[in-house]
Amino acid sequence: MTILISAVIQLRGVDLVVMIRPVLSDLWPQYGLTIFTPRLELRLPREEELAALAHLAGKGVHRADERPFLTPWTDGGPEDRARSVLQGHWSQLAGWSVAAWQLGLGVFHHGQPLGVVTLRARDFLVVREVTTSSWLGIEHQGKGYGTEARVGLLTLAFDHLDARVARTEVFQDNHASQGVSRKLGYEHDGVSVDARGDEALVSDRLRLTRQKWTQQNRHSVRVDGMTACRPMFGL
């Protein structure tokens, strides 16, 4: 069912009724938020784009003989992985609050979905710290897209949300992600240990401060639609 809203405008003394089709971003302004990097767009995916991203994850985000993430991407079949992407996306939207939010943005190159980057925070207005995570379809890795998308996400965090610190956690043998973080100025901030079945996995905690961020030479990034989103972040 299509819902239309009517508005009355006056043209040369005559009242005209104009039908206005509301858009999703009127109710959920994060849908109007878009981050533009030289090659990429980062934004909330629409329905068909979300399905395409889920299908991409179903095809794999790393080699079968690797385990660079705590998320068990190689467990189950392609449909299981695809459905987990859908569930994660819907859960983030449904659970949004100023006190605890997760912004999972699709990464697009000329409209083609490449993966997802996520910015999350808890008690952000007090601690001013965010955490980032990401995945790319395996065929899109090794082309610099991950670094470029991370820069876009960090631009939103530091330059538009006024974050003081960005954090990430990376397995010690995930050399690709470690390299991206070090390249962007992250510094070692201890370790964390997680259980994967009967196995204890050690991750490096990495920390990027606003001071280190401002010292980086970065490519140009544009963020559109942030003004309407500010109340959703409590700003």
Beta bridge partners, 9, equal 16
Q: What is the pLDDT of residues 4-38, one digit of tens each?
A: 444 444 445 555 444 455 678 888 999 999 999 99
Query: Residue 21 has what pLDDT?
Result: 57
Query: Where is pLDDT greater, at 183 or 8?
Result: 183
Mean pLDDT estimate for the chain: 84
What b/e string do you get for 181-196 counting C-beta neighbours within 10 Å, with b at 16 or more? beebbbeeeeeeeeee
% of the chain beyond a pLDDT of 90: 50
% of the chain beyond a pLDDT of 70: 83
Query: Residue 63 has what pLDDT?
Result: 57
Angle at CA of residue 39, ends 37 and 55, nearest 5° = 105
Contact 70, 194 (CB under 8 A): yes
Q: What is the pLDDT of residues 112-136, one digit of tens each?
A: 999 999 999 999 999 999 999 888 8
